[in-house]
Amino acid sequence: MATVTLTKLTKRYGNIGIVHGIDLDIADREFIALVGPSGCGKSTTLRMIAGLEEISAGSIEIGGRVVNDLPPRSRNISMVFQSYALYPHMTVRENLGFSLKIAGAAKEDMDRRVAEASAILGLDTLLDRRPSQLSGGQRQRVAMGRAIVRDPDVFLFDEPLSNLDAKLRTQMRTEIKKLHAKVQSTVIYVTHDQVEAMTLADRIVIMRDGHIEQVGTPDEVFRQPATRFVAGFIGSPPMNLHEATIDDGQMVFASGEKLPLPAQFKTNVATGDKVVFGLRPDDIYPTGHGISSGGAADVHQIELPITVTEPLGNETLVFVEFNGTDWVSRMLNPRPLRPGERVAMSLDMSQAHLFATETGKTLRS
């Protein structure tokens, strides 16, 4: 069990910067997800923590000990790779016990710990098989088992579920969560899938181009995105974002359409300011079919034409045309709607977000 502290952590390949001096404090037993699009530096950061990648500047502390130049084996970490990286010439038992064998553990101790890990992950019946005889989900479990056996200070996961099909991914996600509850270790989990990050993590670190955009609990990054990027990245379907200019308490969009300025931003902007207006699909809905129907504080009504509907059973995603593009809205208790039909939409402006166009930063005070 250990804390992890990254200070001004930097990675450069020649002149090309990959990670630009990030700072992060991870508490003991915390589950942290590093999330971001491809090439944002999240995997590189994880590999630097693992010791598989040299750091160009800054420092990494694990459990209060600076590990900058220590080899991976001296950091007491374990890692689950995206590719699983099971040793194909060894059985599941040998795979699980490999780290103990290298450490020179006694036979009984090794057997006991392998048995414990395989019991946790339900691998008992597979111990004598080789990786090639296992399914994707089983391989994934062996990879996790190999990590558990070491009883490390920190677990590192590098997109562990991205090779699994959708159903298995959901199942393994739950298993990882249960596993964390059982072993109570610090976990750093890299993923490009924001749903994984939201469901698993205590805190989410959103990265972009080698910088940290925001660190916060799933609720914080969802409800109070610090930047336009975070707003667009977290949430599914993504937040609707439109550029507008402030004009006398109103937002004027490129198409000439206007919306009233959300009350909570009135003092933060002035006429002439360029802003990005954001509203989640949950906060736009055909009137009477929303999450916050009736109880919302600041609802604006507008009539908009429907372009497409996507029924999902208990709800329907309704695409309406606004400002020349499609707005996604979420309709609860759906009723049949036809494309082309104009419907009264409710916009819950109390949930709206505004970002400065230039910096992308939130204008929330």
Q: Would you tell me which residues interact with other proteins (CB under 8 A)?
A: 50-52, 71-73, 77-79, 81, 83-89, 98-99, 102-103, 130-136, 139, 146, 150, 163-164
Q: Which is nearer to other proteins, 163 or 293 (CB)?
A: 163
Q: Which is nearer to other proteins, 150 or 353 (CB)?
A: 150
Q: Which is nearer to other proteins, 134 or 188 (CB)?
A: 134
Provide the H-helix boundaries in the chain. Answer: 42-50, 92-103, 107-121, 136-149, 166-183, 194-200, 218-223, 228-233
The span from the CA of 97 to the CA of 145, in Å, is 9
Report the nearest approach of other proteins to the CB of residue 315 (Å): 32
CA distances from 345 to 294, 305, 315 (A): 13, 10, 16
The crossing angle, in degrees rounded to 10, of helices 166-183 and 136-149 is 20
Query: Is 130 in contact with 88 (CB distance < 8 Å)?
Result: yes
Q: Which is nearer to other proteins, 150 or 289 (CB)?
A: 150
Report the nearest approach of other proteins to the CB of residue 87 (Å): 6
Phi, psi for residue 271 in degrees, rounded to 5: -55, 135
Question: The dihedral of CA 189, 233, 358, 279: what is its sign?
Answer: negative
Report the nearest approach of other proteins to the CB of residue 346 (Å): 45
Report the nearest approach of other proteins to the CB of residue 69 (Å): 15
Q: Which is nearer to other proteins, 46 or 306 (CB)?
A: 46
Report the nearest approach of other proteins to the CB of residue 121 (Å): 17
Report the nearest approach of other proteins to the CB of residue 47 (Å): 8
Report DSSP letters for 113-179, one per residue. HHHHHHHHHT-GGGTTS-GGGS-HHHHHHHHHHHHHHT--SEEEEESTTTTS-HHHHHHHHHHHHHH
Q: Which is nearer to other proteins, 53 or 202 (CB)?
A: 53
